[in-house]
Structures are given as C-alpha cells and as structure tokens.
Amino acid sequence: MKAGQVLVSETVPVMAQPTTPVVPAFSASTVEQVCKVLADAVTGPQIPNLIAALKVGESSGDEQNAKWKRLFNAVAARQNRQQDGRPLLRLISEVMAPVRFASQADLDATRALVNERLLLSGYQVLADGKVGRARPAATLSEAQQRADDLRAELARRCVHPDVLRFCRAELLQQNYFHAVLEASKSVADKLRTLSAMAGDGTPLVDATCSLGSGPRVAFNGLATEWERSEQTGIATLMKGLFSTFRNPAAHAPRVLWATSRTDALDMLTLASMLHRRLDDATVRRPGQQ
C-alpha cells in the first residue's frame, strides 16, 4: 500500500476489539474534503499534536506540505493500518472541540461544512463537537440542506453580531419569522440608542433619518444629491423591514406568520447591513449642516 493511499468505503472493516464499533473506512475523496475543511480551522503549529493523537509520524519533508495534506496523509496512514474509519472521526473530534473556536458562529460554520461531506457517509458532527451516526444523505444536495443550517449560513455571510445576539433562541428553533422579527427590533433598538430618541417603526425612522428631520442620524456627508438619495434609501429600507415583520406580528393571525428559510436569510442580511450603516453613522445636532 502506497503512502497517502486510502482504503475505499466498500472495504469490510476489521475491528480491533470485539466491543469497538464498526466504522467502515472512508473513501479518499471524503478524507480529502473533510481534511480541507478541518485545516482551515487550525494553525500550522497545531498540526503536529493533531497528527500525534492518531499515533502516526510524519515523513521527512511532510512539514512543507499544505495543512490539509498533512492531515490527509496522517489519516490515510492510520486508516490503512487499522482498516477502518475511526482515525478520521478521531481527527474531527479533536479539531471540532468547541474550545478551539473563538465564537459559536465560527464553530457552527465549520461544523456545517464538515457535515456537508460527512453526512454522505452516515455521520455528523454534533453541537458539542463529537461525531455521531446519522441517516446517510442520498445526494450532495440533501447533505448540504441538512448540514447548512441557518446560523452557519449567516456566519458565512458575516452577518452583524448584534443580529445574531437578538435572535439566537429563534434560530436554534428554526423559527424564521420570529428570528427576523427580533432582528428588526435590534435595528430599532440601535437607532434609539444612537439618536437618544424614543419611538418605534416608521415614526422613529422619520424622526431620525429622514431629510426633513435634519437628519439627526446621517449615513454620509449629505453634500451631494447622490448622498441625499442614499440617505433616503437607507431610511426607506429600515421602514420596509419594520413594516414587513413588526406590523404583521401585531395584526395578522399566527398561522399567517410563516417565513421561508430563503426569505429569512435575505431579511437577516438586510438587517445586518442596516446595523453596519448605523455603526458608521454620524449623530448630528439640530440645525447642524
């Protein structure tokens, strides 16, 4: 067996002990794709310890390889030696330990990417970073849909942390309408805090961001017609977000509140953009030019 060659998943595994769960060897393509995702979550100096946990050594010159290639070679060597897939699962558990990640959003995004590859083989990374068995995905699109939950997609979009902070519980429950509702509340809350004014919804936006109000909260220098148009456009987007998700919650029957995942992603991304513009906005005193 050549170095770096991986046993295909059709190979019948050999259990090291009678009590050891059977884990069929993973295909070379699966190992490669998973290692590429894992490599992005670790640093070069961490690679030797991860490889040592697999009880294999690196060949001379391996340290010059890309991170993913070093992980791939280590998994391949160990998998070929014991003829089952446990080395890859061990590596995944080591890398996906929550303590390695700076934020929950980073962990969720990496977990989704690993699961896109792993679900095809009947395994998935759980919320605690451990690997468990799962119903195998029949197609790549099914694996992506099951792995790519809303929070992971939002993390990939670099959605503003204040959006996630306001709607975290709703996202955990995949309650898309209320996730967007809470996100819209977060925009209004920031606008009130920034302007030191009370109110809500359209009246709040008109009192703080409309040209007729000064504006009290300015998104640019307002020196040109283009800048004044942009100011009006951002204010209109805010009012649209509030009208679409805040007003229906107060007046429409609950059964009509359904929001699709696609719409939720788009609206949460809009809320994120509004947060960033508010972060960069200038508060103007009354009469200030």
Q: Give the integer Cα–Cα distance in Å for 186 and 279.
A: 13
User: How many whole angstroms separate alpha carbon 265 and alpha carbon 181?
Assistant: 13
pLDDT of residue 253: 53
C-alpha to C-alpha distance for 168 and 164, rounded to whole angstroms: 5
The residues facing 124 across adjacent strands are 132
Per-residue pLDDT of 122-158, as tens digits, reads: 999 988 889 999 999 898 878 877 776 666 677 778 8
Q: What does the CA dihedral 107, 112, 114, 116 come to, rounded to 10 degrees?
A: 180
- For residue 251, the model assigns a pLDDT of 53
Alpha carbons 120 and 258: distance in angstroms, whole number: 30
The per-residue pLDDT for range 218-254, each reduced to its tens digit, is 999 999 999 999 999 999 999 999 888 766 555 555 5
Of 110 and 167, the one with more pLDDT: 110
- According to the model, what pLDDT value does residue 170 have? 65
pTM of the model: 0.53
Q: Report the pLDDT value the prediction gives residue 289, as an integer from 0 to 100.
A: 55
Q: Tell me what pLDDT residue 98 has.
A: 92
**Between 121 and 248, the higher pLDDT residue:** 121
Instruction: Give percent of the chain with pLDDT exceeding 90.
Output: 48
d(CA 241, CA 181): 9
Give residue 2's pLDDT: 47
Q: What percentage of the chain carries pLDDT values higher than 70?
A: 80
What's residue 261's pLDDT? 72
* Residue 132, phi then psi, degrees to nearest 5: -130, 165
3-class DSSP assignment, residue 217: strand
Measure the CA angle with vertex 42, ends 64 and 132; round to 5°. 120
Which pLDDT value is given to residue 249?
A: 54
Go through the chain and tell me how many residues it has. Answer: 289
Q: Could you tell me where the DSSP H helices lie in 120-252?
A: 140-147, 150-156, 161-172, 176-195, 201-208, 225-251
> Which whole-number Å values give the CA distances from 286 to 21, 195, 201, 232, in the listed order?
71, 11, 21, 18
